Amino acid sequence: MIGEIKTIVVIDPISSGRFYGQAIRTKGYCALALVTQKKLSGRLQKLYGVETFDKVFFVEDFEDACRQLQEARVCAVIPGSDSALPLCDRLADHFKVLGNPTQTSSARIDKFTMKCYLEAAGVQAVSAYLLSKDDFAKAPGPEISFPVVVKPRYGTGAQNVKVCESRNEVYNAFLDIENSVYANSSCEQVALFEPFVEGVEQFIVTANLGGSRRQILCFAQYQKIRVGQNPSVYRTIRSLSPDSTSAKQAFAYVKEANSALQADVGINDVEFKANSEGYYFIEQNGRLPGANVPNLIELCTGLDCYSLNIDIYLGHASDKISKPVYTKHFCICCLISDRTGYVSGVEGVALVEELESFHEICIFVEDDELIGATENFLSSWGVVYLIHEDSSRLQRESEIVHEKLKLKFK
């Protein structure tokens, strides 16, 4: 089939990216998945899927990808996850299809470089600096203002993000980053340091149609709790009205951030904190949002994010798309455990399924499985999706989910 019909390439179909195959085939194109990673961490492996793609190739690097695709009639290259970003722009440029500029790829991949570009453009962000483990270990060592957030330059789901109160905690954070699945020879001994900023954490999903043409697709807010050194234990993710004054102000800020990073093509999401002093950029994710958000957007508004993003990368999207109307809102309840142990079951499922806003429940753990305490989004033991037109009901019933739905341990 490859070479016979026009082909759309999705790189690393993980999480939301795994649903592209059917959407591509529905439009009459060959759906081809390029996989760049032989090994994924536990939860990411469960979120990986290529079943709906026509062809699947594993590639070692850019040259290997070009070789394996040389017979294909490539008409679009779309990132299926964060790990796809280093390769995506280069392949789009190679095949002369629509994409973001290769000259600024690092600004959309490396969380530190993101901050540098924003600073140069005068866009407010959480200040950041890099520090190697070797430099940190030297006596007397650099001056660090505690508490400080230590995180990898690359990654997803708040993996290995720590709030450190002492030099010993910083050293342990370095060790976690070194052992990360995202670590590589060029960055494994370097960490990103940021001051801990108080504020409400939010994100905006944006359709970037080329140049300055942008449209808000979703405005949402995280509820995270801090457990020990882990500042990003996700509890809920809930949509907010994109027509509110706060949404319009935040979207103006997000447009500035995307422009500074030259993120001009494709749907992405930008995470930021908001407080009385303004907005503070955290990071931009150059692919569809995870946590099943694209499907929830469609259920609440009728907008098919997959079809739209494919059209954007094909150059077929309208110059101005309509802002989606939220006739309903969603809430994602991320299920949290404060224990380590062997799972023997889940209690409260029937009670949760009776809630008026209940849509779906996904349990990621199995009986007899050994799990650890929840540290980030990827270590949640399950999620419950709630959908309702009444936001106050969503709020109340999300609390019921967390109260009633519990893991049982042996």
140: cis peptide before it, omega within 30°? yes
49 DSSP 8-state letter:
-
The pLDDT tens digits for 106-141 are: 999 999 999 999 999 999 998 899 988 888 877 655
The pLDDT tens digits for 271-298 are: 999 999 999 999 999 999 999 999 999 9
Asked whether residue 364 is assigned to any structural domain, the reply reads: yes
Same structural domain for residues 115 and 210? yes
Same structural domain for residues 212 and 169? no
pLDDT of 182 > 70? The answer is: no
Asked whether residue 134 is assigned to any structural domain, the reply reads: yes
Give, in order, the Cα–Cα distances in Å from 58 to each of 159, 208, 389, 393, 400.
25, 29, 43, 46, 44
Asked whether residue 235 is assigned to any structural domain, the reply reads: no
What is the residue type of 52? T
Asked whether residue 231 is assigned to any structural domain, the reply reads: no
Q: Measured between alpha carbons, how far is 347 from 313 in angstroms, rounded to an integer?
A: 44
Tell me how many degrees the CA angle 24-25-28 measures, rounded to the nearest 5: 100
Query: Total domain count for the chain?
Result: 4
Same structural domain for residues 118 and 246? yes
Using alpha carbons, select from 316, 318, 235, 244 the residue that is nearest to residue 274. Answer: 244
Asked whether residue 387 is assigned to any structural domain, the reply reads: yes
Task: List the domain range (segments joined by +) for residue 376.
Answer: 328-410
Domain of 169: which CATH number?
3.30.1490.20
How many C-beta atoms lie closer than 10 Å to residue 59's C-beta? 18
**Residue after which a domain boundary falls, among 81, 97, 113:** 97
Same structural domain for residues 163 and 273? no
Whole-prediction pTM: 0.93
- End-to-end CA distance of the chain, in Å? 51
Asked whether residue 229 is assigned to any structural domain, the reply reads: no
Using alpha carbons, select from 375, 361, 91, 407 the residue that is nearest to residue 225. Answer: 375
Same structural domain for residues 254 and 321? yes
The pLDDT tens digits for 200-221 are: 999 999 999 998 899 999 999 9
Q: What pLDDT, on the 0 to 100 scale, is given for residue 183?
A: 44
Using alpha carbons, select from 12, 55, 14, 13 the residue that is nearest to residue 31. Answer: 55
Same structural domain for residues 76 and 17? yes
Same structural domain for residues 151 and 256? no
Same structural domain for residues 137 and 279? no
Asked whether residue 233 is assigned to any structural domain, the reply reads: no
Give, in order, the Cα–Cα distances in Å from 203 to each of 166, 188, 242, 254, 358.
30, 28, 11, 9, 23
